[in-house]
Amino acid sequence: MDHAANKLDVARSLCAALPGRKLVFGGDNTFSDMLHREIPDSGIYHSSLGKGKADSALQAFRDGGTDVLVSTKALNQGLDVPDASVGIICGLTSKSLTMVQRIGRLVRIDPKDPSKTGYVVVVYVKESQEEVWLKEALSKLSKAAVSWTDSLTDLTG
């Protein structure tokens, strides 16, 4: 990706092209709201919504009323979120632990079912600070449990 403004188009296209339940992470509430408006039939979960609206969106995702839930760091940890087979991270952070938590939230390794797989797509601006943050986070992941590529070809054909 060559410009941050293209992230909205990329996220919308990925949600349409990739099968399965999807969690989409924006960087902040404003950008997450923009993602939610761009991705048809998505739910939105973040702190500015108020407890009722946020809980309703999370419940709709749990119940299968929506297959896409857009959030900020509010879903990184501590909440029971149903499994998603696809994660799309559009908001990177300088904190490696936050990135690792997001990836872990999206692709839970199940020792009882080693065939279970999921995909995490990180949408970032090349040759930017985001790329530096991503490389740092990836260096902290176990290469035995997680593999990655720098191309969407494997996912979208």
pLDDT in tens, 19-64: 888 989 888 899 999 999 999 999 999 888 888 898 899 889 988 8
pLDDT above 70 (res 150): no
Spatial contact of 85 and 118, defined as CB atoms under 8 Å apart = yes
What is the predicted pLDDT for the residue at 54? 87
Q: pTM of the full predicted structure?
A: 0.82
Phi, psi for 85 (deg, rounded to 5): -90, -15
pLDDT tens-digit readout, 48-107: 888 889 889 988 998 889 999 998 877 655 565 667 778 898 988 788 777 777 776 665
Residues 6 or more apart in contact with residue 76 via CB below 8 angstroms:
98, 101, 102, 105
State which fold the 4-141 domain adopts. Rossmann fold (3.40.50)
Report the alpha-carbon distance of residue 64 to residue 111 in Å, rounded. Answer: 25
- Please provide the average confidence, as pLDDT, over all residues in the chain: 80
- Distance of alpha carbon 110 from the chain centroid: 19
What is the chain's percent helix, strand, coil content, to nearest 5?
A: 45, 10, 45
Indicate the domain borders of the chain.
Answer: 4-141
